[in-house]
Amino acid sequence: MNAKASPSDSLSLERKLNMHEARDGIIDRLARYFPESIDIEKFLNVVVSEIGRMLGADRCDVLQLTGGKQLEISHEWRKDGSVPSSKGTIIPIDMSKLGEKFDISEPIRINDTKSSKDPTLKFFTKALETRSLLIIPIRQGEQVIGLLGLHDTKKPRVWLDEEVAFLESIAQQLSIGYQYTNVFVAQKREARRTAALLEIANTLNSHSDFGEVSDRVIEMAVELTGADYSALGVLDAAGERISLVSFRASEGVKPSRVLRMVEDHGGSLKVDTFKAINELLQEGKTRPLKDSQLPLPIRLIFNTQLGGKSALVTPVRVGGQPFGLLGFVWSNETVFDEHDIALVEGIADQIGTALERDQLSAEVMRLKSQLNQRNSEIVGQAASIQNAIRLALSVADTKTGVLISGESGTGKELLANLIHINSGRGEKPYIKINCGAIPETLLESELFGHEKGAFTDAHSRRTGKFEEADGGTLFLDEIGEMSMQAQVRLLRVLQDGKFTRVGGKEVITADVRIISATNVDLEKAVEEGTFRKDLYYRLSVFPIEIPPLRERTEDIQPLVYYFLERYKEKTGRYVSGISKEALRALINYDWPGNVRELENAIERSVIIGSGRNIELDDLPPAISKKAFEKYALVRQERAVAAGEGRNFGINIELPATMDEIEKQVIEATLDYTEGDKSRASRLLNIGRRTLYRKLD
């Protein structure tokens, strides 16, 4: 296929001088312009035009190899308008098969393409209207990065050795030009990336609350990467589900299908549903994705629902631990280089750093994702509260009456809200009444209404709560405070759904779902004769008990962060977080007033600690005093032990997990207290339940 010129064929002295002048001119351009002002596009256009004219070709072009899969004619010079243009032509190639027929690392001379027997070559030369062809590789080291081509379109031509040697020297200069350009472009891209990440960092640092700027940061990330859209997902505390917390699309992109799919999944996905997500979180590495690499079912979802062809997904880490994922999706096939990956990793690192600094926003973001999963304001991961939520959701879509019991301040009303929202009556009336806050003489009127003149001050007819709740839900709080007379009338309504207003005769029918709540022991009230037994059985068809806060200490920390965020917004005061000492004091407090008392304590602390971290002294005296007493006890115990020569120590073998170290410390403390768990708990400043749990 390489037809060489005969020795008699040679260039004239004048042609040789012109060629060398042209080469020197190209070298001079490189020397003068590339270190400071690089315009590779303009340079290549000049090169192909000078070479084409110098060698008297019909067409001269540069073919760039992209992704190792195709050649693209990127620059072209034509002798005149009669010569057909091939600029922009893309030639798919298979490098392994191409290497079996041609060695593109060496010059290829085809004096007459019509004499070629290769069908592929004949096809392309016919399509390009090339009669005679000379191809010179442009190499960087051993790698071919492009080709320099000369064409005669009308007649055969013998390509001379001197012409080939000249073009090989030009190809070397082109390679240098590419190398300069790559270095310069890489430096510029690095500078742009640094500037972009700095802008994101400044945006994050300019606001005290990450939640306020997360959408803006994702929007900036979309602009920087050129992606169609980006999303930030956050893992729940158990690391089992990932929830969408921020989403932004580029201008002109309408991601309605994406958002609809997210909504269909309740805003979250189980991590183990997609193996790739699980692996990515475990490995902690950025993963480029192409639709062609995905299994067919997932590829269909990626193409049709997400509208994607390519994606980059990178983990967001807070304090060295997986916190979530940052993903970018492109609707076209995109080849990602090291710069692209470094950019998205830089953005993810900035987000992680901001969240690590603003621990409050990180915890609240995670909490909100969990609450959105079940349309609830109940914060808690303890098995007892999770069981109460599970029972509430299981009974929600029935007509069955529910009795919620628990101490004051445990969140009985929130559980009732959850039942109503998730019932088929969610859009219907939801009426609440506190039976203990209404005088006994007026309670019946509140529940069933009254007619004009039914009693003193009854100047007009009034609709009762049962009528107002028709078709919906009636929540009877503190049901144990209801008078016996009102209990009789309530029982009658529950039995047949009918009642009359106070002072009236008209029988009214109402379809009402009853949810009742009590902070007293109704069984004991039945025994004492203060609550009707038949009404108790009617109300307690489906009982749910909410545990006191002291029995679910693992929920105190998330509740603290939840209320901190709430009262930051409500009071307009900013706090950066809470100290370890203050948090430990809150966890170890008994909370006789339960969640309500904790909420009040946090509201007070936000006001006092405005503009800084909440410290132990900012907590209510009842809590801080108890904590200081515990610290004093530990110091005293330590001093006595030292005086009696009873100092204990432990040896820790590294590496070791925190769970192993904590267990070793607890066991050593129990040895010190001779097995007294209560005393050990006090010395360790943890609750007994926590001690038992860490020993399991």
User: Residue 265's pLDDT is what?
Assistant: 45
User: Residue 515's pLDDT is what?
Assistant: 93
Pick the more confident residue, 179 or 322: 322
Close Cβ partners of 168 (under 8 Å, ≥ 6 residues apart): 107, 136
User: Residue 403's pLDDT is what?
Assistant: 93
Pick the more confident residue, 408 or 666: 408
User: Residue 8's pLDDT is what?
Assistant: 44
Superfamily covering domain 13-183: GAF domain (3.30.450.40)
User: Residue 204's pLDDT is what?
Assistant: 64
Close Cβ partners of 592 (under 8 Å, ≥ 6 residues apart): none
Model confidence band, residue 545 (pLDDT cutoffs 50, 70, 90): very high
User: Residue 406's pLDDT is what?
Assistant: 92
Model confidence band, residue 306 (pLDDT cutoffs 50, 70, 90): low
Q: DSSP code of 476?
A: E
Tell me the pLDDT tens digit for each residue of 103-148: 778 898 899 988 888 887 787 788 888 999 999 888 877 778 888 8
Q: What is the mean pLDDT of residues 403-412?
A: 92
Tell me the pLDDT tens digit for each residue of 80-93: 989 989 888 887 77
> What percent of the chain shows pLDDT beyond 70?
73
Domain 383-547 has CATH 3.40.50.300: yes
Mean pLDDT of the chain: 78
Tell me which of 3.40.190.10, 3.30.450.40, 3.30.1130.10, 3.20.20.10 is the CATH number of domain 207-360. Answer: 3.30.450.40
Tell me the pLDDT tens digit for each residue of 144-189: 888 889 999 989 999 888 888 888 888 887 777 666 665 555 556 5
Pick the more confident residue, 7 or 176: 176
Mapped onto helix, strand or coil, the DSSP state of residue 235 is strand
Q: For residue 443, give the nearest of 432, 433, 453, 452 by alpha carbon.
A: 433
Beta-carbon count within 10 A of 611 CB: 9
Beta-carbon count within 10 A of 8 CB: 5
Q: What is the mean pLDDT of residues 386-410?
A: 89
CATH topology match: 13-183 vs 207-360: yes
> What percent of the chain shows pLDDT beyond 90?
11
Rounded Cα gap, residues 110 and 152, in angstroms = 11
Rounded Cα gap, residues 83 and 95, in angstroms = 29
Superfamily covering domain 648-696: Homeodomain-like (1.10.10.60)
209-212, long-range: CB < 8 A, 24+ apart: 209/358, 209/361, 209/568, 209/574, 210/354, 210/355, 210/358, 210/361, 210/362, 210/365, 211/361, 211/364, 211/365, 211/565
Q: Where are the domains of the chain?
A: 13-183, 207-360, 383-547, 648-696
